[in-house]
Structure formats: structure tokens, C-alpha cells
């Protein structure tokens, strides 16, 4: 058995000093300072993770809540959990808004009051978000013959976890808390392999089957009763830049997917194009043009179209 390193073996004093110097150099070069009175400057990823776990439990208490929860104490648990989650979320929202103010991205006169209003609005939206999520759970149950119950879908399907996070994150994104929203969506991305930008607009009864490798971009718009499979990309075709090479932000660059569309595994759909209502996009299709309603797009008919244009 090898001996443990002797005290001082790592020369930690020198390393800590060097890391402090690197931090100070970066902050000076970028015009950055520490948070208020030396406190935390940005929202905490771990705090947001815990908040989302609490919110999931409050939304679906008998499925995603504590193992010993009983129906007679359901309301008490939901109220207690929401109070803790929303209070913690308010702290994180204040951090984000204070940071944005220091960076000159907002000019709020009363950050704390504004943060409180945003989280109050978020709290008030939770019942409607639960109703919307019920449509997603039912879409997964009805859309997958392997699903034996809605409870199995809620407990086991990564697509449902991703869409729960997205519905919550999208509200934060629209409210003007994009950093909290992005942290929320990236936590789901890490857990499921499903990458949905919180800016994406997604209608009810949305189902992601299997899910791994799915990418949905910021400005994508998805209608009602849409079903997509693993490794589908709704992405941008190009990234316009200004004369200095800086990418333009926020302009519509991702697809519009209308109601009742099915997109099979591995399909890549790029650019601000429209997939018409009721269309089916086959597996591994590469699509950069709009298609009308009720289209059936496969690799074979795309190849025929290309040959016909020669």
C-alpha cells in the first residue's frame, strides 16, 4: 500500500495564490467585480436544480413527490414545498437581475420589487402549466404502444422530464430571466440528452419518444400534437454576422412545425422553414425547404426531387 503524501506535498499556498491572481486578472481585464459585499454574483446551478426538484414534486405530488406522501396531506406538502421553492427562486431571480443591471443590460430602478413581481406571476401560472403538462403526458401515453400507464410515462420517460423543465424554463425566459431559464433547460439536457432552448415555443400535447440527441433551437415554433423521435434537430441553417464578425442574436432562424406533424429519428430540419400541418418527415431526412400540409417526406422522394431539378 502506497504512503499518503506528506503535508505540504501539493504546495497549495502557491496554487491558491496563483488561482487568485488569475481570477483578479480576468476580472480586471473584463471590467468585472465580485458580487455585492463580496457575495455571490450569479445564480447557483445547484440551487436551481433543487428548486426544479421541488417544483416537479409540487406539480405532481403523488408521482414525483416524497415516497411517504399520502393524499390527505397532499395540499399541505404542495403548499410547504412551493413556499420553499418560490422563496429560493426569488433569491436566484434577484441575483440574475442585479447581475444584468451591473452589466448594463437592464435599467431597473427597483430590482428586488421587480423580481418579486416576476416570481409572483410565475407562481400564479403554475396551475395552467400543470394542465398543459397533462396534455404532454397523455400525448406520450397515447403515442407509445409500449406505455402501460400515464404513471409509467411520468416516472420513466426522459421526454416528459425534458418538457416539464421546458414549460417552467419557457415561462422564466419570457418573463425576462433568461439565465435562470437556460440553467433550467441545461439541467434537463444533462439528465436526458434532450436539448430544448427555453425560448422555443411548443404547443400542447407534445411528445418526444426516446429522446436522446434531440435539439430544438431558440426560435423554433412547434404546434399542437407534434411527435418527434430521437436525434431530431430543429436547427439553424446559417448564422448571420455583422461586419466585425459578431453573430446577430435573436432573429428567427429555426423551423416552424405546424400541428399534427410527426418527425422520425435522425431527421435534421434547418432554417426558418415551415413544415405544414399533418406532415410526416421520415428518418434521417435532411430538410432545408418548406413543405406543404400533409406532405410525406422521405430520403427517397427528396432524392427524386433533386434529380428532377438537375
Residue (of 144, 143, 135, 141) closest to 205 by Cα position: 135
- Decide the pairing of beta strands 215-216 and 233-235: parallel
| Structure confidence at residue 164 (pLDDT) | 98
Helix (H) or strand (E) segment spanning residue 113: helix 111-143
- Alpha-carbon distance of 114 to 111, in angstroms, equals 5
Helix (H) or strand (E) segment spanning residue 268: strand 268-270
pLDDT in tens, 79-106: 999 999 999 999 999 999 999 988 777 7
Delimiting residues of CATH 2.160.10.10 domain(s) in the chain: 213-310
Question: Which stretches in the chain have pLDDT values below 70?
Answer: 1-2, 7, 33-39, 245, 303-310
Delimiting residues of CATH 1.10.3130.10 domain(s) in the chain: 42-194
| Structure confidence at residue 243 (pLDDT) | 72
Are 232 and 267 in contact by the 8 Å Cβ rule? The answer is yes
- Ramachandran area for residue 162 (φ above 0: left; ψ -120 to 50: alpha; else beta): alpha
Q: Which fold has domain 42-194?
A: 1.10.3130
211 to 60, 194, 195, 200, 248: CA distances (angstroms): 21, 6, 9, 17, 29
- Ramachandran area for residue 176 (φ above 0: left; ψ -120 to 50: alpha; else beta): left
List residues bridging with 296 in a β-sheet: 280
Query: Cell 471590467, residue?
Result: 31
Instruction: List the Cα angle 122/126/127 in 5-degree steps.
Output: 145
| Structure confidence at residue 195 (pLDDT) | 98
pLDDT in tens, 185-235: 999 999 999 999 999 999 999 999 999 999 999 999 999 999 999 999 999
Other beta carbons within 10 Å of 76: 10
| Structure confidence at residue 45 (pLDDT) | 96
Rg (CA), the chain: 23
Backbone angles phi, psi at 190, to 5 degrees: -65, -35
Backbone angles phi, psi at 96, to 5 degrees: -65, -45
Question: Which 3 state secondary structure label does DSSP give 49?
Answer: helix
| Structure confidence at residue 109 (pLDDT) | 79
All three cell numbers of 128: 395552467
- Alpha-carbon distance of 61 to 308, in angstroms, equals 57
Q: How many residues does the chain have?
A: 310
- Alpha-carbon distance of 264 to 20, in angstroms, equals 50
Backbone angles phi, psi at 56, to 5 degrees: -60, -40
Residue ranges of alpha helices (H) inside 60-110 are 61-64, 74-102
pTM: 0.89
- Alpha-carbon distance of 96 to 52, in angstroms, equals 17
CATH of 213-310, one of 3.40.50.1820, 2.160.10.10, 1.10.10.10, 3.30.70.2190: 2.160.10.10
Amino acid at each position: 500500500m502506497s504512503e499518503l503524501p506528506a503535508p505540504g506535498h501539493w504546495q497549495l499556498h502557491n496554487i491558491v495564490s496563483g488561482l487568485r491572481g488569475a481570477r483578479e486578472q480576468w476580472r480586471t481585464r473584463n471590467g468585472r467585480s465580485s458580487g455585492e459585499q463580496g457575495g455571490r454574483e450569479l445564480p447557483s446551478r445547484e440551487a436551481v436544480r433543487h428548486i426544479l426538484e421541488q417544483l416537479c414534486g409540487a406539480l405532481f405530488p403523488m408521482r414525483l413527490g416524497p415516497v411517504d406522501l399520502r393524499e390527505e396531506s397532499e395540499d399541505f406538502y404542495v403548499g410547504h414545498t412551493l413556499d420553499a421553492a418560490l422563496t429560493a427562486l426569488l433569491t436566484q431571480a434577484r441575483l440574475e437581475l442585479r447581475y444584468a443591471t451591473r452589466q448594463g443590460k437592464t435599467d431597473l430602478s427597483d430590482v428586488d420589487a421587480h423580481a418579486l413581481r416576476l416570481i409572483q406571476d410565475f407562481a400564479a401560472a403554475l396551475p395552467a402549466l400543470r394542465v398543459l403538462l397533462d396534455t404532454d403526458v397523455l400525448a406520450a401515453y397515447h403515442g407509445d404502444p409500449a406505455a402501460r400507464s400515464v404513471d409509467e410515462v411520468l416516472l420513466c420517460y426522459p421526454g416528459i422530464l425534458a418538457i416539464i423543465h421546458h414549460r417552467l424554463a419557457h415561462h422564466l425566459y419570457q418573463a425576462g430571466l433568461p439565465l435562470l431559464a437556460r440553467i433550467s433547460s441545461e439541467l434537463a439536457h444533462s439528465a436526458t440528452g434532450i436539448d430544448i432552448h427555453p425560448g422555443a415555443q411548443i404547443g400542447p400535447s407534445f411528445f418526444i419518444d426516446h429522446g436522446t440527441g434531440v435539439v430544438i433551437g431558440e426560435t423554433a415554433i412547434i404546434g399542437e400534437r407534434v411527435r418527434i423521435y430521437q436525434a431530431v434537430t430543429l436547427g439553424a441553417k446559417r448564422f448571420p454576422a455583422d461586419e466585425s464578425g459578431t453573430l446577430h442574436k435573436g432573429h428567427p432562424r429555426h423551423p416552424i412545425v405546424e400541428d399534427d406533424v410527426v418527425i422520425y429519428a435522425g431527421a435534421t430540419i434547418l432554417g426558418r422553414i415551415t413544415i405544414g400541418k399533418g406532415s410526416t418527415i421520415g428518418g434521417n431526412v435532411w430538410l432545408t425547404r418548406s413543405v406543404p400540409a400533409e406532405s410525406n417526406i422521405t430520403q427517397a422522394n427528396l432524392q427524386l426531387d433533386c434529380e428532377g431539378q438537375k
